[in-house]
Every structure is written in structure tokens, then in C-alpha cells.
Amino acid sequence: MKLRLFIGGFLLLLWLAACSPVQDRRPDGAPASAQRSGDPPATLTSVTPVSSVPVTATATITATAPVTATLTPTATTPVTGTVAPPTQVPTTTATVTVTVTPTTTVIPTPTVTGTVTATVTPTATPTGMQPPDQTPTPTATPSPTPTGGATPVTPTPTPTPTGSPTPTPAPSTVFLRSHRSYIQGSSLYVVGEVMNGSPVPVYNVKVIATFYDSGGRLIGAQETMTLLPETAPTQANPFKLQLNTTPAAVSRYDLALIWDDISLLEYDRVTVIREEVSDEPVLEVRGELRNDQPVEVRDLRVVVTFYDADLNVLDVFPGTVGSTTLAPGATTSYTITTDKQNFKYESFLVQTQGVLTR
């Protein structure tokens, strides 16, 4: 509606402007018909007045149709964008695996059982543990023969009650039960026993010894295997190690153990049915073995360990058998010859082991 009124008013103004008389005016504002000074006199001509005829002005107003602005909204499809999080580059963590084993990975490295320090012959404190079902044989002491006609009366001592000692629990792994060293000739020997405190057997136990002088300098190293290839749970397996260089300079030594957890062979022992000891000319143990296994036993071995009164290891020796292969129920002899004369010991233990043939 406002647009229509505006257009009508504009046309009306145009029409009125066209109908207005134009009067010639001088620049100074006087009418153009006035005589200026210096001009020749004007001649007046009578003018017949024109009768006034009414003029009818017809204004045709054309109504222009209003312009209708049509706003056509364009629906723009919204762009749905998925903003992906920045790609995270995984951080690579370097893992350093330290294998505390001087040999293959199947061999665990046990904790070193401490350092024994002594001038020449360091001695470890015993734990008093014994191999299963095997008791060291005590040394027989002959009874004195009485002289004269009187029969001596042996007084009966009254025992004094003592408290029961509290046993020390054994470690749940392979450990050194007892060991000592001694010098013989130009060599230093380290002897002892390895005990298996775990519930499963272990195999090929290796004893590694490092030797130091009084200033803590390394002067030698040596290693050896236990005398029996398998160490069953709670079994004490003997070993003997020999150092031939500068034994007198050794002030202390350290021992470490490594072993195998598995074996392709199956081991077991045979029965010691007889044993006897001879001191002439050197200490010797002899006896007889019998295979009580249901299968044949081959690669048969025999060893002996000598103990003091506190079951500390004094020395160990391997022996020989009459036959290394025994059928079920078969027997064979054995001999263990030492290099000891007048050797003082309290008891000894003979152990055997062989491979079962399945």
C-alpha cells in the first residue's frame, strides 16, 4: 500500500510541473518585458485579452501492480562433518630383558648362597638336612675287652632333658647345603653338597667357583658338575672342584649354581645291599648293588660322601661298579677308593644312580 501511494504522489508532481507557465525573467530579477535603459522605445501593441477558458486537466494515474518480493529460501543441506581426532602415534617402549644366567635360557640362575671367607679352608655352617631315605653310616667303634677276673660295672648315666631345637626351614630352590676347601699338594679342593629344596627334580647342576686373594683381586675360576646327574627333591648331591693354580694365594672363594629344569633321560637309583670300609693301605669303601627297578638300568654310577659329627661334608669320592648295566633283579659289586690315610670322619653315605631304559 505504501508503494502505491508513493508512485501516485510522484506522478502527480510530474503533472503539476508540466502544467505551470514559464515566465522569462532577467538575471537581475526584473521581468523580461521591462525596457532597459539605452534601448529604443518600445512600441505597445494592444493585445486582445483572451477569454479565460477553463482547462480541465485529467490525470490518469496508472496503478502499477505492486511488486511482490517473493523470498524463496533455499534449504542448504547441512554438511555433517565428523571431526576425526588426530592420529595418535603409538609410543614404542623399549623393553630391556636382562637374563641373569651365564648359560642357556632354560637354566635358571639361583641366588648365590653367600660368600665364605677364610684364610685357606673356609667352612660353611651346616643345616643338618639329610637326603631322603638315606642315612649316613656311622663309624663303628670297637668295645674295649675287659681284663682280669672282675667284670667292670658300667654306670648308667641319667639323661638330662634338653629342649627340642627349632629346625631351620630349607630354601625352596637348589642351594649349597655344606662345603669346605683344603689344600693337598699343589691344588686347592672345594668339596660339598648341593641340595634340592624344590618339589621337582633338577638336572646337571653346575657349581661355579671364583677365587680371590686377600686384596679382593680375582686370581682364578673353576667349575664342575655334581657327581650325580639328577638331584631329586630333598636329595643332597655331592661335588668336588679342583684349582691347580696358586692355591696358597687364595683368601676366599664364591660359589654359584646353575642347573637344568628338564631332561630327556629318566634317572633312578639302585639299592645298596652291602657296604664295608677298609683303611689299609688307604680308605676304601666296597659293597654290592642290586637293581630293584622293573626295567633295566644303564650308565650306573656310585659315589661316597664323608661327614663330621655335625654332618658337614669332609670329602667326596666317585667309585667304580662291576657292571654299568643291570637287568631287573641283577646285582653287581662296587669299589670306592680314596687317597686318604688315617682319615677322621664320623659317618659316610653311598649313593647310586643310573638311567632307566623304557
The pLDDT tens digits for 289-333 are 999 999 999 999 999 999 999 999 999 999 999 999 999 999 999
Q: Which of 346, 273, 267, 344 is closest to 299 using CA atoms?
A: 267
Q: Are residues 317 and 336 in the same domain?
A: yes
Asked if 201 and 234 touch (Cβ cutoff 8 Å), the reply is no
Task: Say what the pLDDT of residue 4 is.
Answer: 72
Do 228 and 299 have their domain in common? no
Cis peptide before 281 (omega within 30 of 0): yes
Q: Say yes or no: 247 and 272 in one domain.
A: no
What is the Cα Rg of the chain in Å? Answer: 63
What mean pLDDT comes out for the span 230-240? 97
Which cell is 327 given?
Answer: 637287568
In the prediction, which pLDDT does 16 show?
Answer: 78
Q: Which of 292, 331, 319, 299 is nearest to 229 (CA)?
A: 299
In a shared domain, residues 110 and 238:
yes
* CA–CA dist 250, 121 (Å, integer): 9
Mean pLDDT across the stretch 112-122?
Answer: 38
Element (H, E) at 12: helix 2-19
State the Cα–Cα distance between residues 144 and 157, nearest whole angstrom. 19
pLDDT band at 22 (very low <50, low <70, confident <90, very high): very low
Ramachandran sector of residue 353 (left: φ over 0; alpha: ψ -120 to 50; beta: rest): beta
- Residues of the chain with pLDDT > 70, as a percent, come to 57
* Domain assignment present for 295: yes
Answer whether residue 48 is part of any domain.
no
The Cα-based distances of 15 to 9, 22, 238, 324 in angstroms read 10, 15, 140, 147
**318 and 296, same structural domain?**
yes
d(CA 150, CA 153): 9
How confident is the model at residue 134, as a pLDDT?
A: 64
Domain count, the chain: 2
pTM as predicted? 0.57
Q: Are residues 226 and 253 in the same domain?
A: yes
Maximum average pLDDT range among 73-77, 88-92, 279-283:
279-283
In this model, does residue 56 exceed pLDDT 60? no
In a shared domain, residues 116 and 210? yes
Task: Name the pLDDT band for 140 (thresholds 50, 70, 90).
Answer: low
Residues 136-151, mean pLDDT to the nearest whole number:
51
Distance CA 322, CA 325 (A): 9
List the one residue out of 44, 113, 107 whose CA is nearest residue 256: 113
Pairing of strands 174-184, 187-196: antiparallel
Q: Which residues have C-beta within 8 Å of that of residue 290, sequence separation ≥ 6?
A: 270, 271, 273, 326, 329, 330, 331
Q: Is residue 144 part of a domain?
A: no
Give the per-residue pLDDT at 226: 98
- The Cα 187–Cα 244 span in angstroms is 4
Residues 198 and 345 reside in one and the same domain: no
- Mean pLDDT for the stretch of residues 2-26: 68
Mean pLDDT of 112-140: 46
Q: Is 269 helix (H, G, I), strand (E, B) or coil?
A: coil
Number of H helices, E strands in the chain: 1, 17
111: its cell numbers: 641366588
All three cell numbers of 90, joined, read: 603409538
333/308 same-domain check: yes
Whole-number pLDDT of residue 17: 73
Q: Based on the domain organization, do 278 and 326 belong to the same domain? A: yes
Q: Which of 28-42, 120-134, 155-169, 196-210 shows the lowest mean pLDDT across its residues?
A: 120-134
The verdict on 327 and 276 lying in the same domain is yes
DSSP 123: B
**Closest by Cα among 288, 174, 281 to 233:** 174
Output the pLDDT for position 79.
42
Q: How far apart are CA 90 and CA 11, in angstroms?
A: 80
CATH of the domain at 191: 2.60.40.10
Residue finishing a domain among 233, 263, 293: 263
- The b-or-e profile of 290-312 (16+ CB within 10 A means b, else e) is bbebeebbeebbbbbbbbbeebb
Task: Give the pairing of strands 202-212 and 230-231.
Answer: antiparallel
Structural domain including 229 reads 101-127+171-263
CA distances from 154 to 150, 151, 157, 160 (A): 12, 9, 9, 18
Q: Choose among 315, 332, 314: nearest CA to 323.
A: 332
Does residue 178 share a domain with residue 114?
Answer: yes
